[in-house]
A and B are shown apart, each in its own frame.
Chain A
């Protein structure tokens, strides 16, 4: 079942900046859609409005064809995995999972059967009688999934489901979630600030910033063709270089990049280039100093090397090279190298190509 939100708006403080402003998107049926953004971007608020945990000031929420903007939470039939899980600490794992069925007064035999199925699904058969506090973070997280799935929800809403876990468990659970989704094919909306999570898990990504939607697209589109300066900067930890429009190109120090067409001469320009998109080459000792970067720092991090460059404009640039690539280049601190910024995404202020 698809989820459609239209013009969703929410203000917490009267007169203040809206937490969410005019959010509109559709989460396609059977797919994972990720709401991605930094903290305070309004992504959790959108999720809570879809769940019915916050009332929207304006806009609509539809589950399939059903307008449920005014429907109380308990009648929406959405499965929510909360940030920090919100497990019932006084109830065993089994009773946590059974909760939604118990309050619906389903027959005992049916509840028991369903709980066992779910325990098997999340691979916690042996831990059914434990209390949540006796489980590891990853296990608690799976209980939260099982509890949400028990009510056979129309959609699954995940609020930073891996947020509280350490990085190794996060990666494991990502794979687990992808598998779970292949089995259930539930329409899923995932809120996260972690771009790796978004790019790996989802079929569609909605990037949010300061309450507004910046871009909607597939993970590849988001990565390869950022629609706004914010997305370009946010995805892939890009370097930011500033310059101006000169003769239809972006002038960044000695570099002239892109074809900016009709952009007005002299407008401010921002260029975003990811550390792995910069190409370096050994410089001819006689080359003019203007197009070179000075190697200020070299840091080996496992299989790759982080190169800290200072451009003639004074701006700093971080470049990542594979170990082999670095060895082929063979530079050391204080050397000058040729810098190719060809992969940069360019945004003219208030104007984009």
Chain B
């Protein structure tokens, strides 16, 4: 009987039919159908158009910027996100609760608001921009600005992925290391870091994936100059505004492929780590 999809093992809890009906209906209508539209459109695109859309200098520059800035921001968050998670889990200090709540702000704050706020703060007359400009560091309308926006957006991904693992860490393991003669630094790198490294990688990958697709918080600070500060999502929007649906679709498909490949890799890696550690 389990040869057909969606046949279940017989149990007694009611509501299987109803919940299956609602879920399948919604997923088909809201997820599968629109994705099919994307695939149908992409497969209808002439191959040479497709490759021009994604290998032209403008597209190449956009991909390079999106990948480069997302990666840089994810790495920055990898370092500082770990530090923030560590401080939140291990230390008790005045204002810890506020700090904890602030970590989630980038999740909750609409991206457009973050975008205009960052653009204003880092603008020439902004609070931080006016401090940095005299030293020759311009953030607004540069690739650095794109990275800064992505650091803002990606922070909670790293903190909230690493935090639970640090929380679960048994202090007895560290005490054992100390009784065996390890220094605090040695304990951190030999005992603690290996424990949360997989979670850190996941968090950094999630931040990276989110960075690739991010739009609202970047477009205000980046200035959107083709070949220089134009990100991939903006390229899609621009092509749509010019009614170049085929071009937009081509770029979108490549971007989707990149982020799915990344997520797939992370999942495979995690499965391997779990297996190697004998979990599940």
Touching chains A and B, CB distance < 8 Å: yes
Interface residues of B in 2-28 (CB under 8 A from A): 2, 9-12
| A14 contacts across to B, CB distance below 8 A | 1-2
Q: Does the CB pair A73–B9 fall under 8 Å?
A: no
- Within the assembled complex, what's the spacing in Å between the Cα atoms of A52 and B10? 11
Q: Does the CB pair B12–A55 fall under 8 Å?
A: yes
| A53 contacts across to B, CB distance below 8 A | 11-12
- Within the assembled complex, what's the spacing in Å between the Cα atoms of A73 and B10? 13
| A54 contacts across to B, CB distance below 8 A | 10-12
- Shortest Cβ gap from B3 to chain A (Å): 9
- Within the assembled complex, what's the spacing in Å between the Cα atoms of A90 and B79? 42
| B11 contacts across to A, CB distance below 8 A | 53-55
Contact with B along A31-60 (1 / 0, CB 8 A): 000000000000000000000111100000
Contact with B along A60-103 (1 / 0, CB 8 A): 00000000000011000000000000000000000000000000
Which residue of chain B is the closest to A14 with respect to CB atoms? B2
- Within the assembled complex, what's the spacing in Å between the Cα atoms of A55 and B8? 12
Q: Does the CB pair B12–A52 fall under 8 Å?
A: yes
| A73 contacts across to B, CB distance below 8 A | 12
Q: Does the CB pair B10–A55 fall under 8 Å?
A: yes
- Within the assembled complex, what's the spacing in Å between the Cα atoms of A14 and B2? 8
- Within the assembled complex, what's the spacing in Å between the Cα atoms of A14 and B8? 12
Q: Does the CB pair A72–B9 fall under 8 Å?
A: no
Which residue of chain B is the closest to A11 with respect to CB atoms? B9
| A52 contacts across to B, CB distance below 8 A | 12
- Within the assembled complex, what's the spacing in Å between the Cα atoms of A53 and B11? 7
- Within the assembled complex, what's the spacing in Å between the Cα atoms of A14 and B12? 18
Q: Does the CB pair B9–A12 fall under 8 Å?
A: yes
| B2 contacts across to A, CB distance below 8 A | 14
- Shortest Cβ gap from A313 to chain B (Å): 38
Interface residues of A in 5-21 (CB under 8 A from B): 12, 14
- Within the assembled complex, what's the spacing in Å between the Cα atoms of A54 and B8? 13
| B1 contacts across to A, CB distance below 8 A | 14
| A12 contacts across to B, CB distance below 8 A | 9
- Within the assembled complex, what's the spacing in Å between the Cα atoms of A54 and B2? 17
- Shortest Cβ gap from B240 to chain A (Å): 49
- Within the assembled complex, what's the spacing in Å between the Cα atoms of A9 and B10? 14
| A55 contacts across to B, CB distance below 8 A | 10-12
| B12 contacts across to A, CB distance below 8 A | 52-55, 72-73
- Within the assembled complex, what's the spacing in Å between the Cα atoms of A73 and B14? 11
| B10 contacts across to A, CB distance below 8 A | 54-55
- Within the assembled complex, what's the spacing in Å between the Cα atoms of A228 and B10? 33
- Between A and B, 14 residue pairs with Cβ closer than 8 Å are A12-B9, A14-B1, A14-B2, A52-B12, A53-B11, A53-B12, A54-B10, A54-B11, A54-B12, A55-B10, A55-B11, A55-B12, A72-B12, A73-B12
- Which residues does A use to contact B, with CB under 8 Å? 12, 14, 52-55, 72-73
Beyond the given A53-B12, A54-B10, please list 12 additional residue pairs across the A-B interface where CB-CB is below 8 A: A12-B9, A14-B1, A14-B2, A52-B12, A53-B11, A54-B11, A54-B12, A55-B10, A55-B11, A55-B12, A72-B12, A73-B12
Shortest Cβ-Cβ A-B pairs, 10 listed = A55-B10, A73-B12, A53-B12, A14-B2, A52-B12, A12-B9, A55-B12, A54-B11, A54-B12, A72-B12
